[in-house]
Structure 1
Amino acid sequence: MTATEPAVRRGSLPAHTARRILRDFLARGLEPGDALADEATLVERYGVSRGTLREALRLLTFLGAVVVKAGPQGGARLVTPGPSVVGSALGMVVQFRGATLRTVFESRLAIEPEVAALAAAHRKDSDLELLVESVASLRSARRKRGPEFAAHSGRYHLRVAEASHNDVLATIVPALAVMTTTVPWRFPHGSREELTGLISTVVDAIRSGDGSTARAVTHVMIKSVVDGLQRDQPASLERRILWPDVDEVLSGDRDA
């Protein structure tokens, strides 16, 4: 610690500085995409050493809140962290706790029906267009071999979460969905047709603002997958999930 650095518990100064940067970002009315000040100005503003500042910026970069580019027009800029940050961190934590695929589906069963009900209350026309597209894609892929149906199913769940317009849930649902991709399982035999029909019903309910139906049918849909896995692939439900490659999944390379 330099003579100018504030007294903060040992080892926490970079994290403390990172929090100050983000709080200052809100207080000053900055937006994602805005540049932070140059290094010398930031060192003076926060009263820390260059090393501490750089560690703070590395932490914010890891968390997806800052990008740092080299060159004359470079420097640190604010960006909006995506769900991959939560998914990656939460996935690591629950792996150490021994979470299984069953516990992930139990979590989704507790959360996603309410998310669907919120989507029915708050969806916008642009959200509905994407959900209708998901139904069409699922119908097209339901008899095809390979991962295409799983990819469209995963994308549908993410779109419902976005349609809820609840920032917390729109972050948690993708994190849970990503975790289901870290152990091998497949949709129960003969379930694709049924799932496509149930999803279509949920989308119709969201379209008409019928939260009760959206909630109830989403519950039936997720439970039918769990029941099918219990019947046909019980060992899969007891497999421990792994730390997910969230960026890969959310980019569409491994949606499930």
Structure 2
Amino acid sequence: MKQPVTIPFEGNSARSDRKGARVGAIKGRNRPRAVAETIKEWIIANGLMPGDRLPQEHQLIERLEVSKGTIREALKVMEAQGLIRTRTGPGGGAFITEVSADHATALLANHFFFKEVSIGHIYELRIALEPQLVQELAPRITDAQIAELRGVMSAYTEPPTSIEEERRQRVAELEFHEVLSRYSKNAVLGFFCGFLARLLKDLAVCKRIYNQPNPELRERGVSYQAQLIEAFEARDAEAAGAVMDVHMRAAKRMMLEREAEIEKGFLDTDT
């Protein structure tokens, strides 16, 4: 097991010396957030990693020349951001953690909570990004990863027997794409592909679409994903990219058609 490393908060790197490790003179800003940013810069400058321990509270107070309350609020900010976790008792303290993709996705999704996000907006990006994702993945995908994708597909290869199962199957189809995103060696590309699938699951109009029988959407989706797995088994990047491009364009068309039908149904009900 990796033992936690604690590096004295002395600002002994070139970057720390330039930036300084003091925020006592900062005015007109949210001081706890300013302290949190200074600590994050120090973490990067000293090359600390998940599992390493931050200096003790009294060391942070002395070095940053701020109050105990400010330090504690700064650590709460970092904990809310998913960057540290605190432990009490012997051997306790504040430990650096890696922000999980789920946590980062949830935070980013909150940014769009009150914004107008449409099916069209999401699929414009999916069409641009997902073919690139699978092209990059195809030559190096492992048999174990292909087996995992087949396992995900097993949840929706048979027609649903209820509306609830219909909804679960549509969500599982999106999970197929989230699994793909985790395989990418391009962390930025993988994150955003997974995030777009998450947005679709959370979009109100998509929830309404997924709660209605839609045999064509299911059958076409299963067919495209099966073709994609065939391309993966052949380690054929060009074929994988082509299948995903057609898949995303067809899904966009069908989802927009279903959205229009739902909106028309609401209008007909109101008249």
TM-score w.r.t. the length of structure 1 is: 0.78
Q: Does 1:204 align with 2:263?
A: no
Which one scores higher on RCO, CA 8 angstroms, separation ≥ 6?
1
Task: Give 2:52's match in structure 1, choosing from 15, 20, 34.
Answer: 34
- The answer for unaligned runs of 5 or more in structure 2 is 1-21, 265-271
Question: 2:245 aligned with 1:219, yes or no?
Answer: yes
Over residues 115-143 of structure 1, what are the superposed CA-to-partner deviations in whole Å (9 max), with x where a residue is unaligned?
1212224434543332232233332x544
Deviates more, 1:147-156 or 1:111-120: 147-156
CA RMSD of aligned residues (A): 2.7
* Residue identity matched to 1:160: L
Match for 1:226: what amino acid? K
The answer to whether the 8 A contact 2:135-2:240 is kept is: yes
Distance change in 2, residues 1:36/1:194 (3 Å): same
* d(CA) in 1 for partners of 2:186, 2:263: 29
**Structure 2 CA distance, aligned partners of 1:104 and 1:65?**
29
Say if 2:181 is the partner of 1:161.
yes
Q: Normalized against structure 2, the TM-score is what?
A: 0.74
Question: Runs of 4 or more off by more than 4 Å in structure 1?
Answer: 235-238
Q: How many residues align?
A: 234
Quote the offset at 1:168 in angstroms: 1.1
Bigger radius of gyration:
2
Identity %: 23
Distance 1:24 1:5, change over 3 A: closer
- Cα distance in 1 for partners of 2:137, 2:30 equals 40
Alignment of 1:4-153 (within 5 A): 5-139=23-157, 141-145=158-162, 146=165, 147-153=167-173
Q: How much does 1:156 deviate?
A: 1.1
SS in 2 for 1:190: helix
Query: 1:170 Cα shift?
Result: 2.3
Secondary structure of residue in 2 paired with 1:67: strand
- Separation of aligned partners in 2, 1:215 and 1:197: 15
Say if 2:200 is the partner of 1:194: no
